[in-house]
Protein backbone atom coordinates (compact mmCIF):
# COMPACT_ATOMS: atom_id res chain seq x y z
CA UNK A 1 0.00 0.00 0.00
CA UNK A 2 1.41 3.41 -0.95
CA UNK A 3 2.26 5.97 1.69
CA UNK A 4 -0.43 8.74 1.45
CA UNK A 5 2.23 11.40 2.03
CA UNK A 6 4.20 10.17 -0.98
CA UNK A 7 1.09 10.10 -3.17
CA UNK A 8 0.10 13.66 -2.22
CA UNK A 9 2.49 15.89 -0.24
CA UNK A 10 -0.48 18.07 0.75
CA UNK A 11 -1.93 15.19 2.79
CA UNK A 12 -0.86 14.32 6.33
CA UNK A 13 -1.68 11.03 8.02
CA UNK A 14 -3.64 11.48 11.23
CA UNK A 15 -4.03 7.99 12.65
CA UNK A 16 -7.06 6.41 10.97
CA UNK A 17 -8.08 9.47 8.95
CA UNK A 18 -6.43 11.91 6.58
CA UNK A 19 -6.28 15.65 6.94
CA UNK A 20 -5.48 17.90 4.05
CA UNK A 21 -3.13 20.79 4.55
CA UNK A 22 -3.10 23.58 2.02
CA UNK A 23 0.19 24.11 0.23
CA UNK A 24 1.98 27.38 0.96
CA UNK A 25 0.84 30.28 -1.17
CA UNK A 26 3.09 30.93 -4.16
CA UNK A 27 5.67 33.60 -3.37
CA UNK A 28 4.77 33.63 0.32
CA UNK A 29 7.50 34.12 2.88
CA UNK A 30 7.55 33.22 6.56
CA UNK A 31 9.24 36.60 7.09
CA UNK A 32 6.46 38.65 5.49
CA UNK A 33 3.81 40.24 7.73
CA UNK A 34 0.77 38.05 8.21
CA UNK A 35 -2.27 38.94 6.17
CA UNK A 36 -4.41 37.37 8.91
CA UNK A 37 -4.44 40.17 11.50
CA UNK A 38 -8.00 39.70 12.72
CA UNK A 39 -9.58 40.57 16.04
CA UNK A 40 -7.72 37.95 18.06
CA UNK A 41 -5.94 37.76 21.37
CA UNK A 42 -2.21 37.08 21.67
CA UNK A 43 -0.85 35.75 24.95
CA UNK A 44 2.68 35.72 26.32
CA UNK A 45 2.40 32.76 28.69
CA UNK A 46 3.59 32.40 32.27
CA UNK A 47 6.40 30.10 31.17
CA UNK A 48 7.82 32.69 28.75
CA UNK A 49 10.45 35.35 29.43
CA UNK A 50 11.45 37.67 26.61
CA UNK A 51 14.81 39.41 27.00
CA UNK A 52 16.77 41.60 24.63
CA UNK A 53 18.16 44.99 23.87
CA UNK A 54 16.03 47.31 21.77
CA UNK A 55 13.23 44.80 21.25
CA UNK A 56 9.63 45.75 20.61
CA UNK A 57 6.65 43.41 20.81
CA UNK A 58 3.89 44.72 18.57
CA UNK A 59 0.33 43.42 18.57
CA UNK A 60 -2.19 44.67 16.03
CA UNK A 61 -4.99 43.88 18.47
CA UNK A 62 -5.24 42.57 22.03
CA UNK A 63 -2.17 41.34 23.90
CA UNK A 64 -2.18 39.66 27.30
CA UNK A 65 1.12 39.33 29.14
CA UNK A 66 1.21 36.54 31.71
CA UNK A 67 5.01 36.10 31.52
CA UNK A 68 7.94 38.51 31.77
CA UNK A 69 9.02 40.98 29.09
CA UNK A 70 12.21 43.02 29.20
CA UNK A 71 11.57 45.35 26.28
CA UNK A 72 8.90 47.59 24.82
CA UNK A 73 5.33 46.47 24.23
CA UNK A 74 2.98 48.10 21.73
CA UNK A 75 -0.59 47.07 21.02
CA UNK A 76 -4.13 48.18 20.51
CA UNK A 77 -5.10 46.84 23.97
CA UNK A 78 -2.55 45.47 26.43
CA UNK A 79 -3.31 43.62 29.65
CA UNK A 80 -0.57 42.77 32.13
CA UNK A 81 -2.00 39.91 34.21
CA UNK A 82 -1.28 39.48 37.92
CA UNK A 83 1.55 37.07 37.03
CA UNK A 84 2.92 39.25 34.23
CA UNK A 85 5.53 41.98 34.22
CA UNK A 86 7.15 44.41 31.80
CA UNK A 87 10.35 46.36 32.20
CA UNK A 88 10.21 48.91 29.39
CA UNK A 89 7.63 51.13 27.73
CA UNK A 90 4.05 49.92 27.29
CA UNK A 91 2.08 51.83 24.68
CA UNK A 92 -1.52 51.15 23.62
CA UNK A 93 -4.93 52.71 23.24
CA UNK A 94 -5.96 50.94 26.47
CA UNK A 95 -3.72 49.38 29.12
CA UNK A 96 -4.89 47.34 32.10
CA UNK A 97 -2.33 46.50 34.78
CA UNK A 98 -2.86 43.68 37.26
CA UNK A 99 0.86 42.77 37.52
CA UNK A 100 4.04 44.83 37.34
CA UNK A 101 5.44 47.54 35.09
CA UNK A 102 8.74 49.41 35.47
CA UNK A 103 9.41 52.06 32.88
CA UNK A 104 6.76 54.10 31.09
CA UNK A 105 3.10 53.83 30.16
CA UNK A 106 1.52 55.72 27.26
CA UNK A 107 -2.18 55.19 26.61
CA UNK A 108 -5.46 57.00 26.22
CA UNK A 109 -6.98 54.77 28.92
CA UNK A 110 -4.94 53.33 31.80
CA UNK A 111 -6.52 51.13 34.47
CA UNK A 112 -4.39 50.12 37.45
CA UNK A 113 -5.97 47.25 39.40
CA UNK A 114 -5.53 46.48 43.15
CA UNK A 115 -2.85 43.81 42.54
CA UNK A 116 -0.70 46.09 40.35
CA UNK A 117 2.82 47.25 41.15
CA UNK A 118 3.70 50.15 38.88
CA UNK A 119 6.92 52.17 38.93
CA UNK A 120 6.48 54.20 35.77
CA UNK A 121 5.85 57.59 34.27
CA UNK A 122 2.29 57.54 32.91
CA UNK A 123 1.08 59.70 30.03
CA UNK A 124 -2.69 59.30 29.65
CA UNK A 125 -6.09 60.77 28.80
CA UNK A 126 -7.97 58.77 31.44
CA UNK A 127 -6.40 57.12 34.51
CA UNK A 128 -8.08 54.86 37.04
CA UNK A 129 -6.15 53.58 40.08
CA UNK A 130 -7.82 51.05 42.38
CA UNK A 131 -7.32 51.05 46.13
CA UNK A 132 -4.48 48.72 47.05
CA UNK A 133 -2.42 49.29 43.90
CA UNK A 134 1.21 50.30 44.37
CA UNK A 135 1.98 53.26 42.12
CA UNK A 136 5.15 55.33 41.89
CA UNK A 137 6.16 57.70 39.14
CA UNK A 138 4.99 60.83 37.42
CA UNK A 139 1.48 61.17 36.07
CA UNK A 140 0.68 63.50 33.19
CA UNK A 141 -2.59 63.98 31.36
CA UNK A 142 -1.97 64.46 27.66
CA UNK A 143 -3.30 67.62 26.06
CA UNK A 144 -2.97 66.07 22.60
CA UNK A 145 -4.69 62.67 22.15
CA UNK A 146 -2.69 62.12 18.93
CA UNK A 147 0.52 61.69 20.95
CA UNK A 148 -1.02 58.63 22.64
CA UNK A 149 -1.84 56.73 19.45
CA UNK A 150 0.38 53.61 19.49
CA UNK A 151 2.64 52.95 16.51
CA UNK A 152 1.44 49.54 15.32
CA UNK A 153 3.50 49.52 12.11
CA UNK A 154 6.33 47.00 12.50
CA UNK A 155 8.14 48.36 9.45
CA UNK A 156 8.74 51.66 11.23
CA UNK A 157 10.85 49.78 13.79
CA UNK A 158 13.07 48.10 11.16
CA UNK A 159 16.65 49.25 11.26
CA UNK A 160 16.32 50.57 14.81
CA UNK A 161 16.78 47.12 16.30
CA UNK A 162 18.16 45.02 13.48
CA UNK A 163 14.74 43.68 12.54
CA UNK A 164 14.19 41.95 9.23
CA UNK A 165 12.61 44.36 6.77
In 132-159, which positions are buried (b, 16+ CB within 10 angstroms) versus exposed (e)?
ebebeeeeeeeeeeeebebebeeeebee
Tell me the average pLDDT across 96-106. 98
Lowest mean pLDDT across 4-8, 59-63, 94-98, 146-150? 4-8
Higher pLDDT, 99 or 17: 99
**CA–CA distance, 101 with 82 (Å, rounded to integer):** 11
Counting residues of the chain whose pLDDT is more than 70, the rounded percentage is 72
Contact 65, 83 (CB under 8 A): no
Short-list 76, 99, 101, CA closest to 87: 101
Reply yes or no on whether the pLDDT at 6 is more than 80. no
What residue spans define the domains of the chain? 41-140
> What pLDDT shows up at residue 11?
45
> What pLDDT shows up at residue 15?
47
Report pLDDT digits (tens) over 55-94: 889 999 999 999 999 999 999 999 999 999 999 999 999 9
> What pLDDT shows up at residue 150?
92
Q: Tell me what the pLDDT averaged over the chain comes to.
A: 83
Reply yes or no on whether the pLDDT at 35 is more than 80. no
Amino acid sequence: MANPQQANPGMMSMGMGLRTTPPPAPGSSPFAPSANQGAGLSVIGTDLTILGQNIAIISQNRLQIDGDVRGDVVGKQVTISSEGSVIGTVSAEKIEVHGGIKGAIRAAVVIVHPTAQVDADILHQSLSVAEGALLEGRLKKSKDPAELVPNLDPTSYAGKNGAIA
